[in-house]
Structure 1
C-alpha cells in the first residue's frame, strides 16, 4: 500500500514540476500530459471553472476527445490546484460527447 501512495505522490510531483515550468516560461513550448498539450488547456478553462460555466467550444472538445482520460485519474485530487473544478469535469465530458468517461470522473 505504501508503494502505491509513493507512486501517486511521485506522479503528482512530476506533473506539478512540468506545469509550474510551463507557467513560468512565457513562451513555453507545449508539454504533452496524457495526450493533452499544456498550451491547449486554456481552450477549456471557461468550461470547468466558475459557478455556471458555459458549454465547451469545439476547440475544447477536440482537446477533451484527444485526451487519455484514464491517464488523468491519478491526478484528479490535485486538479483544483491547477484551477480545474473536478465537479465540472464530468459535465464537460458529457457536453463534448464523451459517453463513457472513466469511473474516476
Structure 2
C-alpha cells in the first residue's frame, strides 16, 4: 500500500510542476509592442467586438492613450488575431477621446 501512495504522490508532484510551468509560459507570452503590453489588450476586447460592443472602460482607454498609435500601423493587419473587429477600432478610439489617430486607423 505504501508503494501505491508513493506513485500517486509522484504523479501529483509532476502534475503540479507541469501546471506551474504552463502558467509561467502563459505569462511569458505577453509582448510589449508600441507601449502596450499585449495582455492589456484584453481590457478593450469587449469594446471592439460583436454587433453591439460595450463602451470602453477607463482601463481600456488608459491602455489606448499610453499606446504609440503610429507605431501600431504596421500591425494593423494582425488586429483580428487579438479578437478585435477591425471596423470597431476607429469608433473605439473616438470613444476614448483619441482625436488625432494616425491615418492608418481610418478603416
More helix by share: 2
SS in 2 for 1:98: coil
Please name the residue that 2:62 is paired with.
62
**Structure 2 unaligned residues grouped into runs of 5+:** 1-23
Larger Rg: 2
* 1:6-17 pair list within 5 angstroms: none
Written as runs of structure 1 = structure 2, the 5 A alignment for 1:3-42 is: 25-28=25-28, 30-42=30-42
- TM-score normalised by L of structure 1: 0.71
| Runs of 4+ more than 6 Å apart | none
**RMSD of the alignment, in Å?**
1.7
Residue 44 of structure 1: CA displacement?
A: 0.5
Query: Where do 5+ consecutive residues of structure 1 fail to align?
Result: 1-23
1:84 is matched with which residue?
84
1:74 maps to: 74
How many corresponding residue pairs? 82
